[in-house]
Amino acid sequence: MNLCHPDPPELNQIETEELQTIQWHRKQLLEDIQKLKEEIAEVFAQIDCFESAEESRQVQKEKELCIGRKKFNMDPGKGIQYLIEHKLLSSNTEEIAQFLYKGEGLNKTAIGDYLGERDPFNLKILQAFVDLHEFANLHLVQALRQFLWSFRLPGEAQKIDRMMESFAARYCLCNPDVFQSTDTCYVLSFSIIMLNTSLHNPNVRDKPPFERFVSMNRGINNGRDLPEELLKVEE
């Protein structure tokens, strides 16, 4: 008889069956845990793959957007077409106007050339672009400064004319009590631009005096003169 290591008591049939059942459940539980670990590992692998693909798509999108901006700066029409074809812009005129208004990476001269085109599609974009500007309670000079900061006036007279007509209409809509008509706003805006060009052009030695500016704008308010106080602010 071994007193140090006594033999375990023998199990009866019922106890043996219960032990076998417990061992079987333990084995099943371990297998389930292993399957769960494998499934979790697979899910994480799929997430990593998805994030990598998403990152790759984002990099490709940024690359195409950069190309589109460069194309726009060289040829605005082709640049917009490229951005639409690559689904970086839709053909919605308001969306395109917003893109030009933000102007990220865009040449302001190219923006001005594109907005000044007489194509009906471009005219709608010009209108949407002008509508993005808020001129309420701004003096005309302040509004002009804000407007002309967002692009550079093109050299073609007809383009400038279309753009300034749109500006005048928008300014008068935001400030209905300042001028008798949009024509008055249009003419005065042009005069301010011409005056500003002369004052800041080093090649123009004879700077126009304020009296000449007043004289240029006599009778533009539906046949009447604008208040001199308004013109003095333009000085």
- Residues with active-site annotation: 156
Best CA proximity match to 112, nearest among 121, 120, 122: 122
User: Residue 170, Cα to own-chain centre: how many angstroms?
Assistant: 21
One-letter identity of residue 155: G
Distance CA 95, CA 222 (A): 37
At CA 99, angle to CA 93 and CA 103, rounded to 5? 140
Determine the 3-state secondary structure of 11 from DSSP: coil
Determine the 3-state secondary structure of 31 from DSSP: helix
Cα-Cα-Cα-Cα dihedral sign, residues 34, 36, 39, 40: negative
* Joined tokens for residue 88: 């970086």
> What phi and psi values does residue 137 have, to the nearest 5 degrees?
65, 15
In order of 101, 112, 170, the CA distances from 183 in angstroms are 25, 22, 12
Contacts (Cβ under 8 Å, ≥6 apart) of 159:
112, 113, 115, 116, 117
One-letter identity of residue 89: L
Best CA proximity match to 138, nearest among 125, 154, 149: 149
In total, the chain counts a number of residues equal to 235
